[in-house]
Amino acid sequence: MNNPAPTASSAFGSIDPKGVDGAQALRTGLDLARASQLTMLRLLLALHKSNRRTAMQALDNLLDIDAEMEGLAATLNRAPAHPAGDCSRSPAASRSE
């Protein structure tokens, strides 16, 4: 377990808020959640073994992952609710029918 886990920023690309692809955002979110859980497990094992160095690395990685998740959430909050040009899903379009 000497290999440090890659940081979240190097493992996951950033999402462009202008063209948020829902499937890509979901994949990125799930990947971040998975990475977070695996890193939490590393932290718990390091604490159980009293390995302070590994525990600190895991904690740093968790903070990086949390920052990536926060950025993803902010990007998704800025994204339009429906893709441009897709009027069939908007409430106004369904009321006018």
Quote the pLDDT of residue 26: 87
Counting the structural domains of the chain, the total is: 1
Q: What is the pLDDT of residue 77?
A: 84
Tell me, yes or no, whether 45 lies in a domain: yes
**86 domain-assigned:** no
Give CA–CA dist 12/43, Å, rounded: 21
44: in domain: yes
Is 4 within the bounds of a domain?
Answer: no
Cα–Cα distance measured from residue 83 to residue 13, given in angstroms and rounded to the nearest whole number = 21
- Is this model's pTM higher than 0.85 or not? no
Expressed as residue numbers, the domain containing 57 is 24-75
Taking only the tens of pLDDT, the chain with its 97 residues reads 444 444 444 445 555 555 567 788 889 999 999 999 999 999 999 999 999 999 999 999 999 999 999 999 888 888 766 555 555 544 554 444 4
In a domain, 35, yes or no: yes
Tokens of 13: 């690309």
* pLDDT reported for residue 8: 44
